[in-house]
Structure 1
Amino acid sequence: MQTLEGMIAPKFSLKNEVGEIISLDNFAGKKYVVLYFYPKDSTTSCTTEACDFRDSHEAFTALNAVILGVSADDEKAHTKFIKKYGLPFSLLIDDTHEVSEAYGVWRLKKMFGKEFMGIERSTFLIDPTGTVIKEWRKIKVGGHVEEALDTLKKL
């Protein structure tokens, strides 16, 4: 997969957990966007990652950034996940995988000897001009949110 760093981020318009359409264009000229893709609501690593973003939410907000999570889960699963863990940011529904494919994170995965298509845990930092200024692919959850926050602080 070629990098998206330095390129204009693929545009998206996806429903969030309450059915609102959230577009990258909503933040153009205004905010940094931390767009993170994760495999599945309420699974161990995904919960850890979401809670790490939750715990750093105020720091990201203070740096003029919005956090958006993306998975193929539906509104009901997203709403339950948000309520259970007190997530202060929207989770977007990419049930067609169109946005995941545009960002190159819809990949062939292997688990327990089985192959399947799914989201490869990845994060993209997009500046207010719509340019991807940093990407993290095949993320290991521990320390990732801190690294993303540190990157934003240096801008």
Structure 2
Amino acid sequence: MSQKIIRVGDEIPLFALTDQNGKEFLIKNLIGRKKIVLFFYPKDFTPGCVREACSFRDQYDDFKNLGAEVIGISSDSLKSHQKFAEKYKLPYTLLSDTKGRVRKQFGVPKSVYGLLPGRMTYVIDEKGIVQLSFKNQFGTEKHIEQSLNLLKTQHNEIKLPN
């Protein structure tokens, strides 16, 4: 049986994980309140993941100003996430998915050679519906650029009265 991959238009699965501060994080607490930029990355402290995490950090205020919360997920431990967030001054939530359960729920594929967990970014609207899914193992900056472009476009759309 093949694993379902969450795509644009799909509702995200509800999940609970532990954040870098040791607190339980429930995704349902954001649905209905904020847009979510959820990015799955392979491993704390690896060069590509540091670039990606720091790029999200550097653009974090832009995401917040567009009404979005940034959340990173990897299979690293709580302790690793604490050190990673502290070293790189990451202002957003990092979630520890040590068993890969949430990664499987989203159907995030492995990397090119199947050696590392895959890299995938989702932009999710306030209703919990995926508006963008972006997979690119090596172009980490593209994840930030694509996410911001979509949020800016949505933010700038003129809403006509009913």
* TM-score, structure 1 normalization: 0.90
Change (3 A) 1:79 1:125: same
2:123 match: 125
* Paired amino acid for 1:93: S
- The root-mean-square deviation of aligned C-alpha atoms, in Å, is 1.6
Aligned residues: 150
**Runs of 4+ in structure 1 over 4 Å off:** none
Can you give the 5+ residue segments of structure 1 that lack an aligned partner in the other structure? none
Task: Give 1:86's aligned residue.
Answer: 89
Equivalent in the alignment of 2:136? 138
Distance 2:43 2:131 in 1: 26
Instruction: Answer 1 or 2: which has greater strand percent.
Output: 1
The 3 A distance-change label for structure 1 pair 96 and 61 is: same
CA–CA distance in structure 2, aligned partners of residues 144 and 135 of structure 1: 9
Of 8, 23, 26, the residue aligned with 1:23 is 26
Q: Secondary structure at the match of 1:96?
A: coil
Listed as ranges, the matches of 1:53-68 within 5 Å are 53-68=56-71
**Residue 50 of structure 1 corresponds to which residue in structure 2?**
53
Structure 2 gap segments, 5+ residues each: 155-162
**Identity percentage of aligned residues:** 36
Greater mean deviation of Cα atoms: 140-149 or 16-25: 140-149
Structure with max Cα Rg: 2
Name 1:14's counterpart in structure 2.
17
Partner SS for 1:133: strand
Give the 3 Å change call, closer, same or farther, for CA 147–94 of structure 1 in structure 2: same
TM-score normalized with structure 2 length: 0.87
Native 8 Å contact 2:54 2:88 kept in 1:
yes
